[in-house]
């Protein structure tokens, strides 16, 4: 394929951006090594990114406060100026933060509110949060949505645990706030983008999130699998035979009814009649008692569902985020064994299953970089969300 000089330039900028997302900061020499660019090209790209306000360069503080001999080393990092209003809609809590086009800092200004139960209440909360965060001119509002989103029309098609978000009202309402372009990302897709960026990995993986809901996303050949309607990896709504629990999506027997927080609490109560625990109580119970049969059955149901996905996709790496891995140190190993037993890959190779933190903020930042474009920060590209 013939590449125009501008294509090469944009690809180089994106390479530098990706390395800085994963490494937080590095020297010019490290940057050239990690991107595979010549030091001259890497230097030119860095100068351009500094001019565009995408990166900053600063002298490294000398160790122990002792001045270093000679010229102090200088480090390059992505600029930390907040540019976006980020919104993570959760089943119970919603977090709102001012985000830079960089890994969100630990101390990012943030507000956490109980998730409202209607569009008007949600928009009112968003207005208040924006004022409190003091973010006057954001370039875009980045929204992670738990549910199936049609990005072309800004419609939440289905949200099993937050039905009030369904339809066009939510994203259209956010667009009408005038906070900037709305970029909506299905939440597990955001987790996959965040994981990929933080690890700087080019490996294929299936990300499985087990929390209030159960969802998945797939990265194949470096790219997130999916179209404008992100459905690939939605393992939570796969039926489990002989499970007769009704799911929030309207179906009966979904994996989510066994492996979500609510599902696990219900299984515990069924196994221990008369004992009612909240989530923290359940965690203490599992820490003390280990993986009891009720939990083992839930893990095995997840393992069987994941094995089906692995057989279909040919992916051998499973990244697990959310609540289930935090229940007990043995959970990930047990899940890995289950997937190994149920998948064809397990007959001759090895399935790898790892726990990972949830990186939704970073995923939203990556989605913004892709949809708004990096190469010409002043000139916005055609945007995908027509609202």
Question: In this structure, how many other beta carbons lie within 10 angstroms of the beta carbon of residue 99?
Answer: 27
Q: What is the dihedral of CA 155, 305, 224, 15, to 10 degrees?
A: 140
Termini Cα distance of the chain: 34
Nearest residue to 233 (alpha-carbon basis) of 223, 241, 242: 223
Rg (CA), the chain: 22
**Cβ 160 to Zn ion, closest distance in Å?**
6
Pairing outcome for strands 205-210 and 317-322: parallel
Among residues 52, 251, 354, 355, the one that binds Zn ion under rule CB under 5 A: 251
**Cβ 241 to Zn ion, closest distance in Å?**
15
Q: Is 158 in the site for Zn ion (CB under 5 A)?
A: no
Among residues 85, 126, 211, 249, the one that binds Zn ion under rule CB under 5 A: 249
What's the farthest any 2 CA atoms get from each other in the chain?
A: 72
**What tokens does 315 get?**
């992916």
Among residues 156, 254, 286, 298, the one that binds Zn ion under rule CB under 5 A: 254
What residues between 306 and 335 interact with Zn ion by CB under 5 A? Answer: none
**Cβ 353 to Zn ion, closest distance in Å?**
23
> At residue 329, what are phi and psi to the nearest 5 degrees?
-60, -20
Annotate 52-75 with DSSP letters as a single string: TTSEEEEEPPPGGGPPPSSSPPEE
Of 170 and 247, CB closest to Zn ion: 247
Of 305 and 363, CB closest to Zn ion: 305
Q: Is 195 in the site for Zn ion (CB under 5 A)?
A: no
Of 180 and 305, CB closest to Zn ion: 305
**Cβ 228 to Zn ion, closest distance in Å?**
22
**Cβ 343 to Zn ion, closest distance in Å?**
23
**Cβ 239 to Zn ion, closest distance in Å?**
8
Q: Is 190 in the site for Zn ion (CB under 5 A)?
A: no
**Number of residues in contact with Zn ion under rule CB under 5 A:** 5
Of 249 and 385, CB closest to Zn ion: 249
Question: In this structure, how many other beta carbons lie within 10 angstroms of the beta carbon of residue 162?
Answer: 21
What residues between 202 and 241 interact with Zn ion by CB under 5 A? Answer: 237
Element (H, E) at 352: strand 352-355
Element (H, E) at 318: strand 317-322
Which range binds Zn ion by CB under 5 A, 220-228, 242-250, 325-333, 345-353? 242-250
Q: Is 371 in the site for Zn ion (CB under 5 A)?
A: no
How deeply is 138 buried, as exposed, middle or buried, from its count of CB atoms within 10 A (0-12, 13-18, 19+)?
buried
| Count of positions (residues) in the chain | 387
Q: Is 77 in the site for Zn ion (CB under 5 A)?
A: no
**Cβ 249 to Zn ion, closest distance in Å?**
3
Which range binds Zn ion by CB under 5 A, 94-102, 119-127, 246-254, 282-290? 246-254
**What tokens does 127 get?**
């207005």
Of 174 and 214, CB closest to Zn ion: 214
Asked if 67 and 98 count as a contact pair (C-beta separation under 8 A), the reply is: no
Of 19 and 210, CB closest to Zn ion: 210
Q: Is 140 in the site for Zn ion (CB under 5 A)?
A: no
Of 159 and 343, CB closest to Zn ion: 159
Nearest residue to 108 (alpha-carbon basis) of 76, 124, 85, 131: 85
Residues in contact with Zn ion by CB under 5 A are 237, 247, 249, 251, 254
């Amino acid at each position: 394929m013939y590449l125009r000089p501008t294509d090469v330039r944009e690809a180089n900028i994106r390479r530098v951006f990706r390395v800085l997302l994963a490494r937080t900061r590095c020297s010019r020499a490290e940057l050239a090594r990690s991107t595979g660019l010549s030091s001259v090209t890497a230097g030119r790209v860095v100068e351009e990114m500094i001019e565009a306000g995408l990166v900053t360069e600063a002298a490294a503080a000398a160790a122990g406060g002792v001045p270093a001999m000679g010229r102090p080393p200088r480090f390059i990092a992505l600029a930390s100026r907040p540019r976006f209003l980020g919104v993570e809609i959760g089943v119970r809590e919603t977090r709102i933060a001012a985000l830079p086009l960089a890994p969100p800092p630990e101390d990012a200004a943030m507000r956490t509110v109980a998730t409202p139960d209607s569009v008007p209440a949600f928009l009112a909360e968003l207005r208040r949060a924006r004022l409190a965060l003091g973010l006057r001119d954001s370039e875009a509002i980045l929204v992670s949505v738990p549910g199936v989103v049609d990005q072309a029309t800004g419609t939440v098609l289905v949200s099993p645990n937050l039905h009030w978000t369904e339809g066009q009202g939510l994203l259209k309402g956010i667009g009408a706030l005038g906070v900037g372009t709305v970029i909506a990302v299905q939440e597990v897709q955001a987790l996959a983008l965040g994981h990929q960026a933080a690890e700087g990995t080019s490996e294929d993986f299936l990300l499985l999130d087990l929390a209030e809901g159960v969802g998945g996303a797939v990265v194949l050949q470096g790219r997130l699998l999916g179209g404008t309607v992100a459905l690939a990896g939605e393992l939570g709504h796969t039926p489990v035979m002989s499970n007769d629990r009704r799911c929030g999506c309207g179906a009966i027997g979904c994996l989510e009814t066994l492996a979500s927080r609510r599902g696990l609490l219900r299984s515990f109560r069924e196994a221990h009649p008369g004992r009612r625990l909240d989530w923290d109580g359940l965690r203490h119970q599992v820490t003390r008692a280990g993986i009891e049969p009720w939990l083992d059955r839930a893990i095995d149901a997840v393992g069987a569902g994941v094995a089906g996905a692995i057989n279909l996709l040919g992916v051998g790496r499973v990244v697990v985020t959310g609540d289930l891995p935090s229940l007990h140190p043995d959970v990930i190993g047990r899940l890995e064994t289950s997937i190994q037993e149920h998948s064809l890959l397990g007959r001759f190779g090895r399935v790898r299953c790892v726990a990972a933190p949830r990186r939704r903020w970073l995923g939203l930042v990556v989605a913004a970089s892709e949809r708004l474009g990096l190469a010409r920060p002043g000139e916005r590209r055609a945007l995908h969300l027509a609202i």
